[in-house]
Amino acid sequence: MSASETLATEIELDNETEDAASRAVSAYPPSVQPGIPKLGRKPDGWTRAPIGEFLEPVFRPAKLADDERYQLVTARRSRGGIVPREVLFGRDIRTKTQFFVKADDFLISKRQISHGACGIVPPSLDSAVVSNEYVALKPKAGLDMRFLNHLSHSVYFQQTCFHSSIGVHVEKLVFKLEDWLEWEFDIPPMAEQLHLADAFDSWDRAIRGANQGIVAKLCRKAEITRQLLHEGGERNGRIGDIAEINPRSPHVEPEQLVTFVPMDAMSEDGRLVRNEARRRAAIGSGYTGFIDDDVLVAKITPCFENGKGGHVFGLHSGVGFGSTEFHVLRAHDKRDVRFLHHHVMARAFRKNGERYMTGSAGQRRVPAEFIEDYRVPLMDAGRRHRAATILDAADREIDLLQQELRCFTHQKRALMQRLFSGDALTTEAAE
């Protein structure tokens, strides 16, 4: 096996381990992978030392003037960066103990760092102010801030921050800076830091590009959906003209395997994400039944508004049973299945449905009558099929970009974990 094949296999195994860990019930916040921080073998030429030898806190007290305006900032969770909050007059800032931050400071939220709230202050927020719930750090000699920014995304960094925080609840942990500064890190020579930072910046650009591509494709699909499903057709009709709403539940023998579909098995983009086989007898009565090529629509808030539902197929024995909070649509003509799917997944359908929901707060539901009477353009069957085919092609393009994004993200994360936990790769591997 080649070195590149070995690396790909190891990354895949890292991802499977990470996915399994994320599914486990944990007291850790979602942004932190559970475990005790451990360094592996120190890479040749790197320095192992307490992070306090590379970083030092900096305090720039701000004496607030009542009639002056000040930019406030916050640190987003999950290492989402340093972003602006509101601009306030000094007299309107309730916490009077404030400190200036400067561009390229590394800013940590003491109460949110266990959730990954940290990052580099961008030039646009130079001279913003923060309360004493934040700590700003600047590098000593031998540490590049771009490298530090990438280092903060590593599992080891996240775990050291978590284990340097104290409190009785994950939402009430307080960061102990002096403890964290004692944790040892492996830091490469400056030339290698710059090389690695350049490589990871390239990964970030690829991830941003994939994200931007997805947003552009989603906007384009929304426009195509509006044109094909809401502006065309010789006459208006109803969904009830082309589909039966909540048909009779299928009869299945007790020992037959069928698919069980709780609400969380349907995604918010129209997919069955978990195809769980169960004996019909083990499911019991009182569940909603459906068959291959039915279209499900969640009826209860907030599942309806969030887009739960979609075209189901590949069911065990061709039959499924699921939540009673699903409406079932069964096309009279199989060629209309995808046409129905795209209609009920469209934002216009969900927004209209919200106005017809009945029931008390938290238990509001979309009635079957809304779906049956929902107006759709009834162009001829051939045109309906072509419209669905065009929208399916748009979905496939979005899927490919989302797969590319997941690949970039997982590979970068796995490489960083290895680079910053002692299982060293060459800098070329990061590229």
Q: Are residues 178 and 311 in the same domain?
A: no
pLDDT confidence of residue 234? 56
Q: Are residues 318 and 276 in the same domain?
A: yes
Q: Which helix (H) or strand (E) holds 331?
A: strand 326-331
Q: Is residue 21 part of a domain?
A: no
Q: How far apart are CA 204 and CA 120, in angstroms?
A: 15
Q: Are residues 92 and 179 in the same domain?
A: yes
Q: Is residue 430 part of a domain?
A: no
Mean pLDDT value across the chain? 87
Q: Using the predicted structure, report yes or no on whether residue 300 has a pLDDT greater than 70.
A: yes
Q: Are residues 386 and 314 in the same domain?
A: no
Amino acid at 60: R
Three-class HEC string of 33-58:
CCCCCCCCCCCCCCEEEEHHHCEEEE
Q: Are residues 267 and 404 in the same domain?
A: no
pLDDT in tens, 311-327: 999 999 999 999 999 99
Q: Is residue 8 part of a domain?
A: no
12: its two tokens = 């895949």
- C-alpha distances (whole Å) from 305 to each of 270, 309, 430 are 13, 11, 41
pLDDT confidence of residue 232? 54
pLDDT in tens, 163-198: 999 987 877 889 999 999 999 999 999 999 999 999
Q: Are residues 128 and 270 in the same domain?
A: no
Range of the domain at 248: 237-376
Q: Is residue 1 part of a domain?
A: no
Q: Using the predicted structure, report yes or no on whether residue 364 has a pLDDT greater than 70.
A: yes
Q: Are residues 303 and 216 in the same domain?
A: no
Q: Using the predicted structure, report yes or no on whether residue 405 has a pLDDT greater than 60.
A: yes
Q: Using the predicted structure, report yes or no on whether residue 46 has a pLDDT greater than 60.
A: yes
40: its two tokens = 């592996």
124: its two tokens = 């646009």
Q: Is residue 367 part of a domain?
A: yes
pLDDT confidence of residue 74? 96
pLDDT confidence of residue 422? 54
230: its two tokens = 């809401």
pLDDT confidence of residue 190? 95
Q: Is residue 12 part of a domain?
A: no
Q: How far apart are CA 50 and CA 367, in angstroms?
A: 62
Comparing CA positions, the residue from 239, 270, 246, 243 lying closest to residue 368 is 246
Q: How far apart are CA 174 and CA 164, in angstroms?
A: 8
Q: Are residues 245 and 264 in the same domain?
A: yes
Q: What CATH number is given to the structural domain containing 309?
A: 3.90.220.20
Q: How far apart are CA 149 and CA 175, in angstroms?
A: 19
**pTM (whole model) above 0.75:** no
Q: What CATH number is given to the structural domain containing 217?
A: 1.10.287
DSSP symbol at 116: T
Q: Are residues 223 and 340 in the same domain?
A: no
Q: Are residues 143 and 176 in the same domain?
A: yes
pLDDT in tens, 204-244: 999 999 999 999 999 998 888 888 877 655 567 899 999 99
Q: How far apart are CA 116 and CA 158, in angstroms?
A: 7
Beta strand 134-139 pairing with 55-58 = antiparallel
Which of 127, 161, 188 is the endpoint of a domain?
Answer: 188
Q: Are residues 304 and 386 in the same domain?
A: no
Q: How far apart are CA 51 and CA 134, in angstroms?
A: 18
Q: Are 79 and 118 in contact (CB under 8 A)?
A: yes
Which of 188, 223, 251 is the endpoint of a domain?
Answer: 188
What's the total number of domains in the chain?
Answer: 3
What is the pLDDT confidence band of residue 342, given thresholds at 50, 70 and 90?
very high
Q: Is residue 288 part of a domain?
A: yes
What is the pLDDT confidence band of residue 22, given thresholds at 50, 70 and 90?
very low
Which of 188, 219, 253 is the endpoint of a domain?
Answer: 188
What is the pLDDT confidence band of residue 421, given thresholds at 50, 70 and 90?
low
Q: Are residues 179 and 37 in the same domain?
A: yes
Q: Using the predicted structure, report yes or no on whether residue 11 has a pLDDT greater than 50.
A: no
pLDDT confidence of residue 257? 96
Higher pLDDT, 182 or 15: 182
pLDDT confidence of residue 32? 65
Q: Is residue 11 part of a domain?
A: no
DSSP symbol at 317: G
Is the bond leading into 302 cis (omega within 30 degrees of zero)?
yes
pLDDT in tens, 93-107: 999 999 999 999 999
Burial (Cβ within 10 Å: 0-12, 13-18, ≥19) of residue 219: exposed
Comparing CA positions, the residue from 424, 431, 412 lying closest to residue 15 is 412
Q: Using the predicted structure, report yes or no on whether residue 410 has a pLDDT greater than 90.
A: no
pLDDT confidence of residue 282? 94
